[in-house]
Every structure is written in structure tokens, then in C-alpha cells.
Amino acid sequence: MMHLVLLVLGLFVMLVIVRTMVTVELRQKPSYIENEDKHHAILLLWGVGIIFLLLFIPYQAWQLAGSSREWDGALVLGSSLMGIVLISLGFYCALKGKRLKARVPTT
């Protein structure tokens, strides 16, 4: 039961981090070098969270599926990793596209 809670919590945190990264990316572009460094450092810190969750979520799915060390365990790990990558990239593209459309002035 705990692995299911951690898996759902990990998915939720992943989507929140992706949403935060889109918000940070679409802020005003920094004009000074110091501000640009700060902008990239913030994105890098959120990226560390993404990398951790890309490893944590498949591990929790593997634990939930029974922790098999055979080929079925590899299948669970691989498919959950591909799934979380597709979910996060799809969410990123949808959110960024929606926010960019909202910024375009209509004539």
C-alpha cells in the first residue's frame, strides 16, 4: 500500500515540477548576465528533481509489481520509465503550447 501512495505522490510531484519549469521558462527573459545565470540555475535545480523522480517512479512501480529480478521485472522498469517520460513530455508540451498561445496577441 505504501508503494502505491509513493508512486502516486511521485507522479503528482513530477507534474508539479514540470509545471513550475514551464512557468520559470516563460518568465521575462533576463537581460543581464547575472540574471541569466540565476535563471539557468533555477531550471537546473528543478531538473535535478526531475532526474530523481525519473528513477524513483519506475522503482516504486517495480516494488508495487513484486520486485521481480527476472525479465518481467525489467519489463516493468522499462515500461514504467518510458511511460513516465512520455507523460512528462506530453504534459510539458501541452502546458507550454497552451501558455504560448495565451501570450500571442490576437489581431
The Cα–Cα gap between 96 and 75 comes to 31
Residue 95 has a pLDDT of 94
Can you give the residue ranges of every domain in the chain? 2-100
Residue 34 has a pLDDT of 72
By residue count, the chain amounts to: 107
CB 53 within 8 A of CB 13: yes
The Cα–Cα gap between 7 and 76 comes to 14
Residue 27 has a pLDDT of 81
pLDDT block averages, 10 residues each, the chain of length 107: 94 96 82 79 93 96 93 94 96 92 77
Residue 103 has a pLDDT of 78
Q: What is the 3-state secondary structure (H, E, C) of 59-90?
A: HHHHHHCCCCCCHHHHHHHHHHHHHHHHHHHH
Residue 30 has a pLDDT of 66
